[in-house]
Each structure stands twice: as C-alpha cells, then as structure tokens.
Structure 1
C-alpha cells in the first residue's frame, strides 16, 4: 500500500510537470485595472484566475498534442476606449487567441469593431471575443458578430426580470430612472420605459437622468431630485463606485425608496447601503451565494478559501461558466483556431448541479437562469452568507428559469466562408 501511494504521488507530479511544460493557451483580459473602477477590474481578474486554476488543477486543456495549461494575461485599459484599442493591438501582436472584456459596453463595442476588422485582415491570427459583463443588447442584436460571445444576460433580459418583480409590487407608483451616461446607461433607461409601459402602464416615470461615468463624487444633488420627484422606486444600472456613492448618498439623506439594481450585491454597495437596504434594495444576477444547495455552497466556499479577504468577496458564476465552456469548445474543436472554437461554442450547453446554460447559436447570447434577490441582514437569520463581510447579503425573491429569460434577437449573423 505504501508503494502504491508513492507511485501515485510520482504520477501526479509527472502529470503536473507535463502540463507546466506544455505551451500555455493564453487568454488576454483587457480591463480597467487602474482609475475610478480599478476595484471592478481586480474583481474580474480574481474570478478569472479562480476559474483558470480549477482547469489547470485537473490537468489543463486536452488537445491532440497533449494537455495545455490556461494562462491569463492582463492588459490595463484604464477603462478607456482608446486605451483598450491600444491594448488590443498588443494582445494581437502577441498572438493571443482569446480576448476577454466586459466592464464597459462602450469599450466592448469598440473592441468588437476592432476584432471584426482584425480577423478580416489577419486570417492567420484571428481572435475570439469573450464578453462576461458588457450587457448593451446591440452587441448581440444589430452589432452581433460571429467572433463575439456574451456570457452575461443582456440589459433587456436583466430589466425584464426586475420589471416582473415591480409588476407585482402594488406600492410602486412613481419610478425614477438614473444611470451612467454611455450606451449601457441609456439602454437601461430605454428598456425600463418600454417594459414598464407594457407591464405596468399605470406607473409614472417621475424622472430620467444620466450622469457622467466615474466622475461624480457627491450624489447628494441627484438624491435631492429623486426626493423632489416623489418617486417611491429607483431603477439603476450603475455599477462600481457610481453605484456605491449613489446608494450611500440615499442612505445619508434618509431617502426611503426601493432600489432595483443590476449590481447592488457587490463592490462595497451592501456596506454603503446598510440597514436602509434591508427589504428595499434588490439586485438581479445569474447566481448569488444564498441560492441554496450543497453544490452552490461548496462553489462559494472554495472561492472564499482562495480569496479570504472581505474586499475580494465578489464571485461571478458566469465567468466560471465562460471558462468551462471555452475549454470544452477548444477540446471539441481539437484546436484554438477561432473559427473551429466558435462553431463548437454555438449551441453549446453547460450544466452543473446548480446551474444550466445554453449558448444561443443565432446571436451568441448565453441563455441562463436569473435571480432577483432582496437585501437582508445576516444577523436576522434569513441568509447564510453576507457580502464582503458587511453583515448584509441577498435572499432570492424570484427565480427565472432559462426558458423565461430568453428574449428575441434581431441578429443577422454573418459567418466566415
């Protein structure tokens, strides 16, 4: 028995050494790692590394010439379009086959155009664009591309889930829309207006305001406008510091409204909201730590072991799904060739013990369940996990299966010959 253990250890060491010696498959992440939204960039990097480490721990990616580890290469765009395009040039010069981005739909749109042009000019150095968070619907509608895959629900899909909850809230009479002044923020406001008009035509839009992205340091004037409007409900797609400062200003002013958000469950927002958010602040996501079940709990606990600091407590299931689906597609294609991997991703399915998803072939939009969760206080006993050590977490209010989250697409996909 002792000899068997020694042989097993030697075999594991041999496998590990082979994986390390093999040429890595590189994933190029272009994200704002400095500036106003650096915390969001760091959070993405942590999640991607967590997913990549799991792949490498099981031996890497299996190709005909052996197993290859994944390697993450980080490019700092400083959250700017021009900077992102410069970083994309560096990425392609290094012949990295996969570009990952998501924290800005404006950056994503520019990168998508750049990817399309690059792949046309350089057929021997094509890349695939994997989008984990840029949710402007045009990216899988009017601007859809064979080279682009989105692993997050788009803004219309997220808004649809929120509106279904608002629809059943008899106390919602006057809604205030506030968001960041770029393509994503404008689309969130547009979707809210259109969907509320259908689901709750009695609701009054009490205000509709956009503010500069990442530049507002004091949201008190905006909160004063919301109060003056008589709104009882606020819808916002704000993220990062723009969300944290918004909800903090509302708390400081004692503004008693319900917040329906895309991202209130992260990046300092729960602590900033505090008791004022209990029962009144909601967020929509593909998963959250309190969805329940042994498999989900284990997934979350493993992440917390890897990143024990409260400031790092922001886990995106969709990034784990993205990396897993990419690896499966590469193995199916027997190659990292962009065309072969894209075809393998089209229609691909993901299934774990607590999540399922399908990559819709017609527009490359991932179809997956969504949760609308409401903020709770950990000490009240209704949730098992809080967020970022804040003492506040989220509890599922509505669950939407995959079949109910899919919305029609206007994509007319142009595929390579």
Structure 2
C-alpha cells in the first residue's frame, strides 16, 4: 500500500454504481488578502487528485474502485462563510473536507460544525483533514475523532527552531510580533517557552499582536521593536503580513533575524527578502525547494510545475488526498467512520519519507527541515526561487518522532 501512494493508486471506476466517485471539498481562501495562498494550496490538492485518478482511483474493496471528485469553496477567511461552505459541501455529497489555510480559528469552527453534524446525521458523516492550521489545541484539549492534522503543529515546529537557535549565539534579544488570533498567540507562547528553555540567556524584550490581514504599514510596530533593542523577531506571520513586515523592516534599515513556521511556502516571501537584502528569515517545513537528496519531491515538484505552471512548495498538501486514498484502501470501505478509523495509526510512504498518523490525538508525525532564505552561492544555496537569485539554505533536519510532544487530547470515539 505504501509504495502505491507515490507510484499509482489502483484501477477503474466502481462498476454499476450510480455515482462512481468519492467527493472531497476544498474550503480555503480564494479571495481577499490571502487568495494567492489559497489558490496555491488548491493547485496542490487538484494535482494530487488528478494524479490519483489518472492511475485508477482508490480501491474500496467490495465497494469497487472509485475516483476522487474535488469540490471547491471560498472560505473568505470567515468562520461563518466556512460553515456555510461546509453545509453546501455536505449537501453536494462531500465526505472529506480539506482545509487549513484559513487560520486556526476558522478551522476550529469547521471541526466543531462537522462533529455536531456527524452526531445528528450518522448517514452523512464527514471527516476534516487539516493540512496547514497548526494550533496544538486542535490535536490537544479540543481534539476531535473527525479531525486529522497533516502538518506538524506549532509546538513541534517551535521545538525545531529552538533547537536551531540553541546553536545560534547571535540571537541575544527577541521580540514577539504576531497576528492577533489563535495561531499568532500560540506562536508567541511557544516561542517564549521553548526558545527560553533552549537558550535561557536570550532576553525577551517585548510582545505585540496586530490584526490579521489588515495592517498596511508595519512601521509603528517596528519602531517598538527597534526601541526595545531586539535583534530577533519571533513571528508567526504569513502571506501578505509577512511580506509587508519584511518590506517595512528594510525601509527602516533593520537587519533582523526572523523565526517563522512556513513563510517560505507562501508566494512573494523570497522576492520580498531579495528586495530587502537585509535580515535573515528562517522557517521550518517538511521540505524546502533545493533541498539535497530529495529525489521523490524533486520529481513531484517538476511534474507539478509542468501541470500547473506554479512552484511546488508543500508536499503535505499534495499528501492530503493521497492519505484519503490510502485510508480508503485500508478500510476497504467508503463509509466515513470506517475511513476515519483506518486513518488512526496509519503509516504510509510519502514524497518526504514514511510518516505515521498518531492515533491518540490524530497528529501526523512529519519530518521538519529548518532553513533560511539566502542568496545563491553555488554551495549551500544552488538554485534561485521566484525568479530571484535567492533560495533556501538547509540549517537542520529533524524526524517527526524527535519533535513529537505530549498531548492533552482525551479522544472520544463514536
């Protein structure tokens, strides 16, 4: 089963069925300030679904072989809009919801709504697969049987960064600047806790939160950073909130170190760094472009570029529909509850190596690579990105088991 995920999943449509497809629904931002992020995520999911279907679909055992059918909805970064989209997706027959790029507040609302729906409608249950929202509470005290986290959570990512900062004596004074919502507050919390444990000598000289997606000028925030004497920003910003922050810091002549969860995976970040020419942006993900010794991801990235015309940046998002197909094969069923049970403790091979979905809290144990956006030097950074002469330098790599944290999850199973 594991090898089938990357080399092809199965054969023909379900014979004799009224509907020979299994429906997934993508719910993420496709308009507004983070539309480019949502469109890139959608392209990853579309590519994986098309690849699975081109190779036959998913084998549901006695139910036959089915292809995946992807519906798409705009979350508009709104919990209310996302819940309306969820109901529309269910009404259209979707049984798996793919989300994560709308922020943890929106994703949490979707998870809660799905759980309530499933309790009332056992004949139309849905599973929520979260590819990018990394609030540890989603697999901790707010865990749900119907939710599966396919991205390393905040605590795992911050542990990888803290281990790297431990070996970076240049970091002496840190400022916490984050978006004012659940994820931003978690990034600040774990930043202070885990970096503080790794480097007790680091001084935390300030903390600020700003509205998500609404700040046009970060100069007032950066003036506080400068006045505090910080040399490092621990920021969970993403999308335009990251690029605008970088531009404002460059305009102010501030040469800061930034520690972030997935900045390089968002369009425009490398370009912003190349134009700024000041600062070092270090981030952590399961893979980065130009990473050495990653032939499976390299092949996937090349195929994705040819098919979509976009740069490939997130193996975990491509992995998400493949995870569904693997679970269908394991369950030998198209019933959501059986698929969800099959997902628990599911191990499978991916483009970034073998991974396992931890059963106790539904957290995927995914490897993480700490890397820094830097100029091409022909050695550590061999390839430019986004049409620039800047790319990614590998700083450290960690296995999923190395970063695994304890959990507060008290899973209630139906």
TM-score (norm 1): 0.91
Distance in 2 (alpha carbons) for counterparts of 1:306 and 1:299: 10
Partner of 2:4: none
Which is bigger in relative contact order (C-alpha 8 A, separation at least 6)? Answer: 2
| 8 Å Cα contact 1:19-1:68 kept in structure 2 | no
Distance in 1 (alpha carbons) for counterparts of 2:138 and 2:351: 30
Distance in 2 (alpha carbons) for counterparts of 1:130 and 1:353: 18
Partner of 1:359: 357
- Where does 1:7-406 land on structure 2 (aligned, <5 Å)? 23-63=20-60, 64-103=62-101, 104-265=103-264, 266-274=266-274, 276=276, 280-293=280-293, 294-308=295-309, 312-352=310-350, 354-378=352-376, 380-406=378-404
Distance in 2 (alpha carbons) for counterparts of 1:147 and 1:41: 23
Q: Runs of 4 or more off by more than 4 Å in structure 1?
A: 14-22, 275-279
Distance in 1 (alpha carbons) for counterparts of 2:45 and 2:169: 41
Number of matched residues? Answer: 400
Q: Which runs of 5+ in 1 are unaligned?
A: 1-13
Question: Cα–Cα, structure 1 residues 314 and 21, in superposed 2: closer, same or farther, change >3 Å?
Answer: farther
Q: Secondary structure at the match of 1:123?
A: coil
Distance in 1 (alpha carbons) for counterparts of 2:16 and 2:30: 29
Question: Cα–Cα, structure 1 residues 17 and 372, in superposed 2: closer, same or farther, change >3 Å?
Answer: same
TM-score (norm 2): 0.92
Q: Secondary structure at the match of 1:383?
A: coil
Question: Cα–Cα, structure 1 residues 374 and 20, in superposed 2: closer, same or farther, change >3 Å?
Answer: farther
Q: Which moved more, 1:268-277 or 1:340-349?
A: 268-277
Distance in 2 (alpha carbons) for counterparts of 1:19 and 1:260: 54
Distance in 1 (alpha carbons) for counterparts of 2:337 and 2:324: 13
Distance in 2 (alpha carbons) for counterparts of 1:231 and 1:129: 40
Question: Cα–Cα, structure 1 residues 299 and 277, in superposed 2: closer, same or farther, change >3 Å?
Answer: farther
| 8 Å Cα contact 1:19-1:69 kept in structure 2 | no
Q: Which runs of 5+ in 2 are unaligned?
A: 1-10
1:149-189: per-residue Cα shift (whole Å, max 9, x none)?
A: 00001111111111111111111110011110000100110
Larger % of helix: which?
Answer: 1
How far 1:28 sits from its partner (Å)?
0.6
Distance in 1 (alpha carbons) for counterparts of 2:186 and 2:228: 22
Distance in 2 (alpha carbons) for counterparts of 1:259 and 1:21: 53
How far 1:320 sits from its partner (Å)?
2.1
Distance in 2 (alpha carbons) for counterparts of 1:70 and 1:21: 15
Distance in 2 (alpha carbons) for counterparts of 1:253 and 1:168: 28
| 8 Å Cα contact 1:279-1:376 kept in structure 2 | no
How far 1:47 sits from its partner (Å)?
0.6
Q: Which moved more, 1:347-356 or 1:192-201?
A: 347-356
| 8 Å Cα contact 2:239-2:263 kept in structure 1 | no
Partner of 2:3: none
Partner of 1:10: none
